[in-house]
């Protein structure tokens, strides 16, 4: 595994990166083999005591990753309950399923009510979610939602492959049942949806592996940035004990209409926490007293007419318009 990058990409961008890696000489089957092997390695590292594993595979390449994991787990002596929903619909996934069969496994076709236990007496130690990948969007069709519900109702932890099934890779939206993973290992490039919308609530701990094709990302312009501690350290200057607030910028919050100071106060405090040296709230005159009384770290200026903003706008570095404005 590699360090989780700050840059985030859409599903379409990841597909382009994947194709670029293939065109550069890394076959799709090799990428799938690496993904399955890296996910299996995480499985053993994270849950070393797991012996009874249920692996759920969908029809696409995400399911192909799952079949690779199943083959490796069976070869290592784990008890594997392999469940398939639909036949593999890509050449790579078909080959991956054949590898699982060569390891002595047979994929049980899923049917509602089948359950995901190995048998009535054997406890499932871990569930691997290789059902749906980054191509999913919209609402789940049956029986996907039913199966995801059964997986979530299992007491065992769950490892999602690339992205929790039911989560949209671009937005983090989940319009129906979604896997609640204990951990997610994502490949090639981090997806926006893992860190937006419902993503952070369902991914568990996120791990990353570039599958040794990191250079394929270089021509893609990222869609977002994950503002982790490493990014902050690289981009925000260190402040010493004699640092003057005037060197850290002046933010202006225009809002706080009659009786609505709260949103502007929250925005002003957020600006200070993000590093602004000074923050002024331009508000309805009736709100000046309540803002300065509740938040003395903020400056408040009562505004009755738009022209009164002109001098303020010439003195600030950034302006936020709207919190509590009531328009």
- CATH number of the domain that residue 277 is part of: 3.40.50.80
User: Left if phi > 0, otherwise alpha if psi is -120 to 50, otherwise beta: which for 165?
Assistant: beta
Q: What is the mean pLDDT of the chain?
A: 93
Strand blocks (E) in the chain: 7-8, 52-57, 79-84, 108-109, 126-130, 158-161, 183-187, 205-209, 224-225, 250-254, 278-283, 299-302, 318-321
What is the sign, positive or negative, of the torsion defined by CA atoms of 168, 170, 173, 178?
Answer: positive
pLDDT of residue 172: 97
Residue with tokens 């519900």: 149
202 & 308 share domain: no
CA 128 to chain centre: 18
At residue 108, the pLDDT reads 94
Q: Is the pLDDT of residue 327 over 90?
A: no
Which has the higher per-residue pLDDT, 113 or 3? 3
255: its two tokens: 């809002």
Axis-axis angle for helices 11-23, 28-46 (nearest 10): 120
Question: Predicted confidence band at 289 (pLDDT cuts at 50, 70, 90)?
Answer: very high
Enumerate the β-bridge partners of residue 319.
Answer: 252
- Provide the residue range defining the domain that includes 188: 7-232
The whole-number average pLDDT for the span 5-23 is: 94
- 168 is a domain residue: yes
The answer, yes or no, to whether residue 278 has pLDDT greater than 90, is yes
> What whole-number percentage of the chain has pLDDT above 70?
99
Tokens of 315: 């003195």
pLDDT at 120: 66
Q: Is the pLDDT of residue 237 over 80?
A: no
Label the pairing between strands 250-254 and 278-283. Answer: parallel
What mean pLDDT is predicted for residues 226-245? Answer: 83
Mean pLDDT of 296-318: 93
pLDDT tens string 25-42:
999 999 999 999 999 999
d(CA 166, CA 201): 13
Same domain flag for 116 and 261: no
DSSP string, 190-249: -BGGGTSTTHHHHS-EEEEE-TT-GGGGTTSPPSEE---HHHHHHHSPP--TT--GGGG-
Per 3-state DSSP, the chain is made up of helix, strand and coil in percentages (nearest 5) of 35, 20, 45
Q: Are residues 228 and 262 in the same domain?
A: no
Same domain, 68 and 165: yes
The yes-or-no verdict on residue 71 having pLDDT over 90 is yes
CB-count exposure of residue 9 (10 Å: 0-12, 13-18, 19+): buried
Last residue of a domain, one of 232, 263, 298: 232
Interatomic CA distance for residues 128 and 181, integer angstroms: 9
Higher pLDDT, 84 or 306: 84
The reported pLDDT for the residue numbered 11 is 96
What does the pLDDT look like over 111-170, one tens digit per residue?
887 778 766 667 899 999 999 999 999 889 889 999 999 999 998 999 999 999 999 999
């Amino acid at each position: 595994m590699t360090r989780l990058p700050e840059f985030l990409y859409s599903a379409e961008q990841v597909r382009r990166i994947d194709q670029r890696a293939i065109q550069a000489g890394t076959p799709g089957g090799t990428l799938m083999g690496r993904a399955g092997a890296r996910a299996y390695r995480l499985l053993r590292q994270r849950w070393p005591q797991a012996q009874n594993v249920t692996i759920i595979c969908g029809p696409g390449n995400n399911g192909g990753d799952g079949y690779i994991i199943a083959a490796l787990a069976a070869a290592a002596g784990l008890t594997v309950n392999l469940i398939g929903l639909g036949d593999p619909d890509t050449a790579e996934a078909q080959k991956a399923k054949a590898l699982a069969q060569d390891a002595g496994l047979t994929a049980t076709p899923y049917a509602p009510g089948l359950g995901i236990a190995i048998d009535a007496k054997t406890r499932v130690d871990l569930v691997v979610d290789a059902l749906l990948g980054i191509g999913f969007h919209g609402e789940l069709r049956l029986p996907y939602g039913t199966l995801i519900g059964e997986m979530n109702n299992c007491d065992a932890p769950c490892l999602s492959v690339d992205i929790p099934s039911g989560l949209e890779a671009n937005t983090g939206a989940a319009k129906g049942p979604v896997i609640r993973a204990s951990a997610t290992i994502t490949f090639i490039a981090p997806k926006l949806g893992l860190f937006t919308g419902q993503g952070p609530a369902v991914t568990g701990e996120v791990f990353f592996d570039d599958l040794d094709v990191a250079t394929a990302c270089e021509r893609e312009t990222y869609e977002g940035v994950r503002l982790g501690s490493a990014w902050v350290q690289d981009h925000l200057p260190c402040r010493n004990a004699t640092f003057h607030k005037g060197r850290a910028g002046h933010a202006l919050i225009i809002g706080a209409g009659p009786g609505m100071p709260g949103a502007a106060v929250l925005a002003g405090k957020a600006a200070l926490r993000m590093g602004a040296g000074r923050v002024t709230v331009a508000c309805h005159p009736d709100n000046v007293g309540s803002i300065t009384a509740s938040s003395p770290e903020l400056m408040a200026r009562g505004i009755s007419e738009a022209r009164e903003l002109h001098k303020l706008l010439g003195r600030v570095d950034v302006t936020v318009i709207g919190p509590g404005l009531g328009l």
